[in-house]
Amino acid sequence: MLNEQMEKALNEQLNAEMYSSYLYLSMSAYFQSRDLPGFANWMRVQAQEELMHAMKFYDFINERGGRVKLDTIEGPEVEWESPQSTFEHVLKHEQKVTGLINGLVDKAIELKDHASNNFLQWFVDEQVEEEASASDVLQKIKLVGSDGSGLLFLDQELGKRIFTPPASEQEGTQ
């Protein structure tokens, strides 16, 4: 049975992951409006990943006999100054999410909730990747600078990203 405090914290994280999905979908729409379909694709895939993260929390809360309580999702920004400022925002946001995940791990340890701690370790690893991939794109944008053809090349690269659900998701075991 899920501790009440832990249930509340996990529900809050479910909401934070939904917000992340909303934020990246908004960034996708922004890139679409800037005629950068590859950047828009990268963000759309990212939005799908965040939705998958949210569903992991949804399923875990249910599996532990808790109650999923969906809350209002805050409206994200709709405009950014440039691709660089957008990815600076992504990196900052992912650093914030890492802090939220670490806070959840702290709470699981405090409550001696080993199952939640174990579940959250997937997110600890995932956040390392999330920060690294945002940072990687940001570095490439900085390298390209004001070179239009470089930006188009990068757009093509980012257009190749596809959403691949983890095997456990496909089997419906998570």
Q: How many residues does the chain have?
A: 174
Query: Could you tell me the smallest distance in angstroms from the CB atom of residue 80 to ligand FEO?
Result: 17
Contact with ligand FEO (CB under 6 A): which of 23, 47, 50, 113? 50
Q: Does 20 bind ligand FEO (CB under 6 A)?
A: yes
Query: Could you tell me the smallest distance in angstroms from the CB atom of residue 174 to ligand FEO?
Result: 14
Residues 110-139, interacting with ligand FEO (CB under 6 A): 130
Q: Does 94 bind ligand FEO (CB under 6 A)?
A: yes
Query: Could you tell me the smallest distance in angstroms from the CB atom of residue 100 to ligand FEO?
Result: 9
Contact with ligand FEO (CB under 6 A): which of 7, 17, 113, 155? 17
Residue with Cβ nearer ligand FEO (97 or 138): 97
The DSSP result for 96-138, as a single string, is HHHHHHHHHHHHHHHTT-HHHHHHHHHHHHHHHHHHHHHHHHH
Cα separation, 12 vs 8, in Å, equals 6
3-state secondary structure 47-104: HHHHHHHHHHHHHHHHHCCCCCCCCCCCCCCCCCCCHHHHHHHHHHHHHHHHHHHHHH
Residue with Cβ nearer ligand FEO (2 or 14): 14
Q: Does 89 bind ligand FEO (CB under 6 A)?
A: no
Contact with ligand FEO (CB under 6 A): which of 44, 53, 56, 107? 53
Q: Kindly determine how many residues on this chain lie close enough to bind ligand FEO according to the rule CB under 6 A.
A: 7
Residue number with the smallest Cβ distance to ligand FEO: 53
Q: Which of 161, 107, 98 is nearest to 126 (CA)?
A: 98
> Is the CB of residue 7 less than 8 Å from the CB of residue 61?
yes
Total Cβ atoms within 10 A of residue 147: 11
Binding site for ligand FEO (CB under 6 A): 17, 20, 50, 53, 94, 97, 130
